[in-house]
Amino acid sequence: MCGIVGFMYKNGASAVPLGTQLSAMAGTLGSRGLDSTGLAMYGKTSKGHLVLRAQLEAASGEEGEGKLSRLRERVGKLVTVKKATWTKHLARLEFTGVEDPGNLDTLRQITDAAESADDIKVFSIGSAMEIIKDTGPAPELDVYEVKSFVGTHGLAHTRLATESIVDTCSSHPFWARPFADIAVVHNGQLTNHNILRKHFERRGYHFLTTNDSEVIAVYIADKLLNGRNLEEALNDSINDLDGTFTYLIATEKSIGFAKDRFATKPLVIAENDSFVALASEEVALAPVITKGTEVWEPTARSVRTWSR
Amino acid sequence: MVQIDCKDKHITEINKAIKAGLTSDGEVVVVNPGSRHNLGVGINQPGKLTFEGNVGYFCGGMLKQADIVVHGNCGWSVGSDMMSGSIVVHGNASAAAGAAIRGGLLVVHGNAGPRTGISMKGGTIVIGGNVDYMSGFIMQKGVFIICGNTGEALGDSMYQGRIFVRGKIAEQGNDAVEKAMDEADKTLLTELLTKYQVAGIPKPEEFKKIVSGEQLYNFSIKDFELWRVAL
């Protein structure tokens, strides 16, 4: 059992920051899992702009600053680092003037360079997307100033670990490495993730964890790379993924969900002219919807996408 | 009438107040239920209980005697394991509504989710809208009325009981077969749909009756090879 949340402002960022909405929704789903909490948030983009989020563990401020400085130096050989910061377990690097920010080889090189020393683990790279995740319940993320994040759409997850260990890397959302701006949150358990992971590894993809949900992110990103649109990719996944799942996917412009053929995992949706909100339980919609808003539940074997 | 406001109250406190407030001729009204789980579970006394708003999982679970009305939607497993009494939902229900009930009546005026009426052991379920995947799975007894459409595997492996469907059946489950309705079936449908004003009170002739084909009661030697491979 895990809690999943999705949210999109249809007409651009609103007065209430995206981070505030997602934090409030995730905060109500602690009963579905307190092992870890994470957010994938999509903010402002500009030409040649990329943001990297990574795990950076340090016993002291001095050690942390040292690791951050070395990280900046390694990645700086490939791209121009505009800004580098570090808080608690997480580092954030902002790049500017990247010639082709969607180029998979560039993104792979940046990831490899970042992870080549100091036990750095890259959680996300995106022009709009930033993944912030840590162990513990939703309030533990406040230290990363998530509530003030202004953006258009995003995902959140509260985890009750079943597939891999409880640590920051194995927390959701998962990044579809090395694809910019693609993330997934998943409630359920896949039974064919090892076969799928091997299939993707043979094709040159790398995974951060052995977690089943990370495979979904790469699966969808690979489908998009090969010309399927998001809705088609989600539909394909219902036949190709074995096990139980309701998952949410986000890209630079869209969010969507897929629900398995047995409808094993819950999802409720509320939508109006200005936003769409998705969550495992109705209680998580309460912070963002007004009383009396219609809430509906998708059926087994269904998918849907929203774009802005 | 006793009113209970759920705001800032622990679920145990709310349920204790509900049980304390219920009397055979009185009514308890619960406001601000806020989609919370386990509201009104384990009630074993007569009385009328109304929820003004959406409720979460397991509302009215293990119910005996009381009559519950929900003016809103329900989460998973509304009225699961009900023994007697009634639950009327003026909204939608999620998965496993009326799971494993032994008696009583569950009416959902809107849609219900997957596995509605799973393992029914008696009682009556009436759904005004649609139901999803594997509803009526391993039904053993009782009456299950669906005024809308169904998902796949309807009534899969049912032992006994009667399912009535007005809309489209996506797929009948294993050993779930259609049978002609008799006069008793028609009378029952008319009575229930009229009493609870469900789905504009459709006519009994609009429904199909689904029952067990009774072919799974005994082991079939034809299946020997299948079982040998599976086990």
CA B8 to chain A, closest CA, distance in angstroms equals 14
Show which of A127, A153, A173 is a domain's final residue: A127
Residue-level length of chain A: 308
Q: Average pLDDT of B167-183?
A: 97
Sign of CA dihedral A303, A2, A31, A42: negative
Q: Structure tokens of B130? A: 């649609």
Under the banding of pLDDT at 50, 70 and 90, the label for residue A163 is: confident
Contact B113 A263 (CB under 8 A): yes
Task: Please tell me whether residues A288 and A204 are part of one structural domain.
Answer: yes
Task: Please tell me whether residues A87 and A141 are part of one structural domain.
Answer: no
How far, in Å, CA of B69 to CA of B109, rounded? 11
Question: With 90 as the cut, is the pLDDT of residue B161 above it?
Answer: yes
One-letter identity of residue B27 = E
CB contacts of B94 in chain A (<8 Å) are: 266, 268, 297
Task: Please tell me whether residues A154 and A183 are part of one structural domain.
Answer: yes
Q: What is the pLDDT of residue B27?
A: 95
Per the DSSP assignment, residues forming a β-bridge with A147 are none
List residues of chain B with CB under 8 Å from any CB of chain A. 34-37, 53-54, 56-57, 73, 75-76, 92, 94-95, 111, 113-115, 132-134, 151-152
Question: With 90 as the cut, is the pLDDT of residue A164 above it?
Answer: no
Q: Which residue has the tokens 């690791």?
A: A67
Contact B54 A282 (CB under 8 A): yes
Question: With 90 as the cut, is the pLDDT of residue A143 above it?
Answer: yes
Work out the mean pLDDT of chain B and round it to a whole number: 96
| B86 close to B64: Cβ distance less than 8 angstroms | no
* Helix (H) or strand (E) segment spanning residue A187: strand A183-190
How far, in Å, CA of B193 to CA of B187, rounded? 10
Question: With 90 as the cut, is the pLDDT of residue B221 above it?
Answer: no
How far, in Å, CA of A265 to CA of B11, rounded? 24
A281 touches B: beta carbon within 8 Å = yes
CA B24 to chain A, closest CA, distance in angstroms equals 31
Q: What is the pLDDT of residue A23?
A: 97
Alpha carbon A143 to chain centroid distance? 18
Task: Please tell me whether residues A31 and A76 are part of one structural domain.
Answer: no
More confident residue, A292 or B21: B21
A266 touches B: beta carbon within 8 Å = yes
Task: Please tell me whether residues A261 and A207 are part of one structural domain.
Answer: yes
Helix (H, G, I), strand (E, B) or coil at A290: coil
Task: Please tell me whether residues A11 and A53 are part of one structural domain.
Answer: no
Q: Structure tokens of A87? A: 């808080």
CATH number at residue A182: 3.60.20.10
CA A10 to chain B, closest CA, distance in angstroms equals 26
Q: What is the pLDDT of residue B174?
A: 96
Q: What is the pLDDT of residue B165?
A: 98
CB contacts of B59 in chain A (<8 Å) are: none
Under the banding of pLDDT at 50, 70 and 90, the label for residue A146 is: very high
Work out the mean pLDDT of chain A and round it to a whole number: 95
Domain ranges of chain B: 1-85, 111-231
CB contacts of B115 in chain A (<8 Å) are: 263
Q: What is the pLDDT of residue B26?
A: 85
Task: Please tell me whether residues A121 and A208 are part of one structural domain.
Answer: no
Question: With 90 as the cut, is the pLDDT of residue B177 above it?
Answer: yes
Nearest to A266 among B73, B94, B111 (CB): B94
How far, in Å, CA of A83 to CA of A225, rounded? 30
CA B73 to chain A, closest CA, distance in angstroms equals 8
Contact A263 B133 (CB under 8 A): yes
A238 touches B: beta carbon within 8 Å = no
DSSP B127: E
Contact B73 A295 (CB under 8 A): yes
Question: With 90 as the cut, is the pLDDT of residue A292 above it?
Answer: no
| A133 close to A36: Cβ distance less than 8 angstroms | yes
Q: What is the pLDDT of residue A60?
A: 94
Nearest to A281 among B56, B114, B134 (CB): B56
Phi, psi torsion values for A248, nearest 5 degrees: -115, 140
Report the candidate in B135, B126, B119, B139 with the shortest Cα–Cα distance to residue B207. B126
Contact B151 A291 (CB under 8 A): no
Q: Which burial class, exposed, middle or buried, applies to A120 when counting CB atoms under 10 A from its CB (0-12, 13-18, 19+)?
A: buried
Tell me the CB-side half-sphere exposure of residue B70, using CA atoms within 13 A: 31
Q: Structure tokens of B83? A: 């023994």
Task: Please tell me whether residues A139 and A122 are part of one structural domain.
Answer: no
Per the DSSP assignment, residues forming a β-bridge with A305 are A256
Show which of A109, A127, A145 is a domain's final residue: A127
Mutation site, B71, B73, B118, interface A, largest A CB count within 10 A: B73
ipTM of the complex: 0.91
Q: What is the pLDDT of residue B191?
A: 97
Nearest to A283 among B36, B134, B152 (CB): B36
Q: What is the pLDDT of residue A195?
A: 98
Task: Please tell me whether residues A34 and A99 are part of one structural domain.
Answer: no
Q: Average pLDDT of B151-160?
A: 97
Helix (H, G, I), strand (E, B) or coil at A25: helix
DSSP B93: B
A30 touches B: beta carbon within 8 Å = no
Taking CB atoms and an 8 Å cut-off, how many pairs form between chains A and B?
Answer: 53
Q: What distances in angstroms separate CA A53 from CA A87, A239, B36, one per listed residue?
A: 11, 32, 35
Expressed as residue numbers, the domain containing A65 is: 45-127
Question: With 80 as the cut, is the pLDDT of residue A13 above it?
Answer: no
Task: Please tell me whether residues A168 and A208 are part of one structural domain.
Answer: yes
How far, in Å, CA of A223 to CA of A150, rounded? 29
Report the candidate in A4, A31, A50, A37 with the shortest Cα–Cα distance to residue A255. A4
Phi, psi torsion values for B86, nearest 5 degrees: -150, 155
Q: Average pLDDT of A97-104?
A: 93
Question: With 90 as the cut, is the pLDDT of residue B225 above it?
Answer: no
Show which of A127, A162, A181 is a domain's final residue: A127
For the ranges A234-243, B128-137, B214-223, the lowest mean pLDDT is seen at: B214-223
CB contacts of B57 in chain A (<8 Å) are: 281
CATH number at residue A51: 3.30.70.1120
How far, in Å, CA of B27 to CA of B53, rounded? 16
How far, in Å, CA of B43 to CA of B20, rounded? 10
Q: Structure tokens of A66? A: 């040292």
Contact B113 A282 (CB under 8 A): no
Report the candidate in B61, B45, B59 with the shortest Cα–Cα distance to residue B89. B59
CA B187 to chain A, closest CA, distance in angstroms equals 32
Q: What is the pLDDT of residue A1?
A: 81
The residues, ordered by sequence, that sit 6+ positions from B133 with a Cβ below 8 Å of its Cβ are: A261, A262, A263, A299, A300, A301, B114, B115, B151, B152, B153
Under the banding of pLDDT at 50, 70 and 90, the label for residue B227 is: confident
| B78 close to B103: Cβ distance less than 8 angstroms | no
Contact B37 A31 (CB under 8 A): yes
Report the candidate in A139, A143, A153, A150 with the shortest Cα–Cα distance to residue A27. A139
Condensed to tens digits (0 to 9), the pLDDT of residues A165-199 reads 899 999 999 999 999 999 999 999 999 999 999 99
Nearest to A286 among B34, B92, B152 (CB): B34
Question: With 90 as the cut, is the pLDDT of residue B231 above it?
Answer: no
Q: What is the pLDDT of residue A291?
A: 78
Question: With 90 as the cut, is the pLDDT of residue B102 above it?
Answer: yes
Q: What is the pLDDT of residue B219?
A: 87
How far, in Å, CA of B92 to CA of B94, rounded? 7
Helix then strand count (H, E) for chain B reads: 3, 11
Contact A299 B132 (CB under 8 A): yes
Q: What is the pLDDT of residue A154?
A: 98
pTM: predicted TM-score of the whole model, two decimal places: 0.94
Task: Please tell me whether residues A181 and A268 are part of one structural domain.
Answer: yes
Q: How many CB atoms lie within 10 A of CB B46?
A: 16
The torsion region of residue A243 among left (phi > 0), alpha (psi -120 to 50) and beta comes to left
Under the banding of pLDDT at 50, 70 and 90, the label for residue A17 is: very high
Task: Please tell me whether residues A143 and A289 are part of one structural domain.
Answer: yes
Q: Which residue has the tokens 């007005």?
A: B166
Domain count, chain A: 2
Q: Average pLDDT of B40-45?
A: 97
Nearest to A282 among B35, B132, B152 (CB): B35
Helix axes A212-225, A230-240, angle to 10 degrees: 130
Under the banding of pLDDT at 50, 70 and 90, the label for residue B68 is: very high
